[in-house]
Amino acid sequence: MTGKANARLFRLQGPNVAIGLLVSVVVGGTIGYMAIEGWGPWDAFYMTVITVTTVGYKEVHDLTRAGQVFTVLLLFGGVGTALYTFTLLATVIVEGRLPTRFQQRRQIRMLDTIKDHFIVCGYGRIGSMVAKQFQRQGVPTVVIERDAERMLAAVEQGTLAVEGDASQVEVLRRVGIDRARGLIAVVGTDAENVYAVMSARELRPDLFIVSRAVTEDATTRLKRAGADRVISPYRIGAAHIAQTALRPAVVDFMELATGTGNPNLTMEEILIAAGSSLDGRTLLDANMRQRFGVIVVGIQHADQRIEFNPSPERALRGGDKLVVLGRADSLKEIESEASR
């Protein structure tokens, strides 16, 4: 165990151990006075407290020689314990560790109840941007990060975060992978991403997994490991630079459509639930543009076939996904209608 780990362990256990020792002294003193002097529980407890805290009050009852000897021993053992405990608790409060403990307990409760969330493995340059995008759009997110400083940075940004290895099964279970909506693997290296994807796929065969690939060879390995989508930031960045140089207006429109250029306008996919009010209706009958002021850009059918700029006579079916462009409030209204 490293020095930093030992320090964290001491800070975590120190107050608990000190309080435990103080309680033991008080309980032992109470039992001792009851056994030696034959006092009742309250008198014995009161005598123990005034002795340990050195307040200097008069004895509850006259002490026998055995009681005096016991009091001396209690003074030697109890006063030091009380001073240590009170000093340590004051240090915890002054240094702000008490609020940190409350925050840690709050995070534990949130981890036990969070659902339909994304798990972001890694909080480096890419992972932090992904988490911020999710946070901006109100998507529940949990970050897994091995580096303690990066994990704390995620917490300071308001994101639920856990320190650990994303390839470890117990860590994935701790962040609620059984209730998650998807997983984003953007750890430091391709090998780490492969292990994280394999572990996640083993636990959740139906989970939607997106991974980053640093090298070209990693794309195939990540797909074999179980990733549904593999993204190469360098390839996408190069393509984006080229498109910006050749077709700046198109790039500006795409940024506007995807919500990065205008937070009030976004492109979203909406699942048509079987038996909903949109199931079986044509786009013309649904009349989405007039009712909601949105544009249907395309349809991804249940067989994964994508139809761009569908005809107004195209019938919608349960399992289809509409790719829609419009205001965020309008998209929520369509999503509500498509789900019931």
Residue 16 is predicted with a pLDDT of 73
Q: What is the pLDDT of residues 206-216, one digit of tens each?
A: 999 999 998 88
Q: What H or E segment, with its residue span, contains residue 303? A: none
Read off the pLDDT of each residue in 149-171 and give the average, rounded to a whole number: 92
Q: What H or E segment, with its residue span, contains residue 120? A: strand 118-121
Q: By the 8 A CB rule, do 314 and 307 touch?
A: yes
Q: How far apart are CA 198 and CA 85, in angstroms?
A: 47
Q: By the 8 A CB rule, do 86 and 152 touch?
A: no
Residue 93 is predicted with a pLDDT of 62
Q: What H or E segment, with its residue span, contains residue 141? A: strand 141-145
Q: Evaluate if residue 89 carries a pLDDT over 50.
A: yes
Using 50, 70 and 90 to split pLDDT, how confident is the model at 158?
A: confident
Read off the pLDDT of each residue in 298-311 and give the average, rounded to a whole number: 89
Using 50, 70 and 90 to split pLDDT, how confident is the model at 1?
A: very low
Please write down the long-range contacts of 7-12, taking CB distance under 8 Å and 24 or more positions apart: 11/97
CB-based contacts of 290, cutoff 8 Å, min separation 6: none
Among the CATH numbers 3.40.50.720, 3.40.50.300, 3.30.70.360, 3.40.1280.10, which is that of 114-235? 3.40.50.720
Using 50, 70 and 90 to split pLDDT, how confident is the model at 20?
A: confident
Q: Evaluate if residue 37 carries a pLDDT over 60.
A: yes
- Provide CATH code, domain 264-338: 3.30.70.1450
Q: What is the pLDDT of residues 279-288, one digit of tens each?
A: 999 999 998 8
Per-residue buried b or exposed e for 49-81, using 16+ beta carbons within 10 Å of the residue's own CB? bebbeeeeeeebeebeeebeebbeebeebbeeb
Q: What is the pLDDT of residues 45-74, one digit of tens each?
A: 988 888 888 776 777 888 888 888 888 888
CATH class of the domain defined by 3-95: mainly alpha
Q: How far apart are CA 100 and CA 103, in angstroms?
A: 5
Residue 5 is predicted with a pLDDT of 45
Read off the pLDDT of each residue in 173-177 and give the average, rounded to a whole number: 94
Using 50, 70 and 90 to split pLDDT, how confident is the model at 224?
A: very high
CB-based contacts of 24, cutoff 8 Å, min separation 6: none
**Per-domain residue ranges for the chain?**
3-95, 114-235, 264-338
Q: Evaluate if residue 231 carries a pLDDT over 90.
A: yes
Residue 49 is predicted with a pLDDT of 87
Q: By the 8 A CB rule, do 122 and 144 touch?
A: yes
Residue 209 is predicted with a pLDDT of 97
Read off the pLDDT of each residue in 28-50 and give the average, rounded to a whole number: 90
> Which residue in this structure is represented by tokens 């932090």?
128
Q: What H or E segment, with its residue span, contains residue 274? A: none
